[in-house]
């Protein structure tokens, strides 16, 4: 049986999930969060759980090889566990991986038809590790599939060959996934990207209004 200590990463996941729920980014049972352990196994939110009311028992522990190591009340792991596995495999320095659903995230994924989203050169990019002056930064976009394993395979195939400029990706009409060296870093990345997405949506509306007045 896994012991519960003050350092249990599930406690931070619960706090962040509740915060994201309050922002409207993990409504209902949407989204999933995970945190890596020293042996490269990881805790991930169980399927079908409200992210605003998570308990320590609402997580499933997944071994590095994908086996379920621990699960309370026979809970099933998130349907998107395979994406977390791929992220931890491609980016072994990562200690957490977060996936949320937001209105702005889905809207910006519809503003382009290609496989990447250009990001405006905002100051916020520094928080995502982009320090160039007037940077040309893009965020990878992946097609959404009913079979999550196909999304995970697409992510692994592309990002292994072409590492992203920022620790994040977007699944069209689905949501964003970020990864980082800590739970705190992932929360920051989510907040920064949501700010950038709101900016993009507002700018697109401004552009439409400007053209309609001409």
CB atoms within 10 A of CB 98: 29
CATH of domain 9-208: 3.40.225.10
d(CA 197, CA 131): 19
Tell me the domain boundaries of the chain: 9-208
Three-state SS sequence of 9-45 = HHHHHHHHHHHHHHHCCCCCCCCEEEEECCCCCEEEE
Averaged pLDDT in 10-residue chunks for the chain of 214 residues: 68 97 95 96 95 95 89 85 97 97 96 95 96 94 96 98 97 97 97 97 76 51
d(CA 142, CA 100): 15
Beta strands 59-62 and 116-119 are unpaired
What pLDDT does residue 150 have?
97
CB atoms within 10 A of CB 51: 26
Q: Which two tokens stand for residue 135?
A: 């940077």
Q: Which two tokens stand for residue 54?
A: 């998570």
What pLDDT does residue 75 have?
87
What pLDDT does residue 1 have?
46
Q: Is 84 annotated as a binding residue?
A: no
d(CA 179, CA 168): 7
pTM score: 0.92
């Amino acid at each position: 049986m896994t012991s519960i200590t003050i350092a249990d990463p599930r406690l931070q996941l619960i706090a962040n999930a509740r915060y994201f729920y309050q922002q409207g980014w993990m409504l209902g049972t949407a989204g999933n969060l995970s945190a890596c352990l020293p042996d490269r196994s990881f805790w991930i939110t169980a399927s079908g759980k409200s992210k605003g009311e998570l308990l320590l028992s609402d997580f499933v522990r997944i071994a590095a090889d994908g086996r379920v190591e621990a699960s309370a009340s026979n809970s099933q792991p998130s349907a998107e566990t395979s994406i977390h596995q791929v992220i931890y495999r491609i980016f072994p320095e990562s200690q957490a991986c977060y996936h949320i659903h937001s209105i702005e995230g889905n809207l910006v994924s519809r503003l382009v038809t290609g496989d990447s989203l250009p990001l405006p050169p905002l100051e916020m990019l520094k928080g995502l590790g982009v320090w160039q002056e007037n940077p040309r930064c893009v965020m990878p976009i992946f097609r959404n599939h009913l079979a999550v394993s196909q999304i995970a395979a697409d992510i692994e195939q592309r990002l292994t060959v072409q590492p992203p400029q920022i620790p994040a990706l977007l699944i069209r009409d689905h949501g964003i996934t970020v990864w980082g060296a800590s739970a705190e870093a992932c929360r920051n990345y989510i907040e920064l990207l949501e700010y950038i997405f709101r900016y993009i949506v507002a700018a697109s509306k401004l552009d439409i209004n400007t053209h309609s007045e001409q």
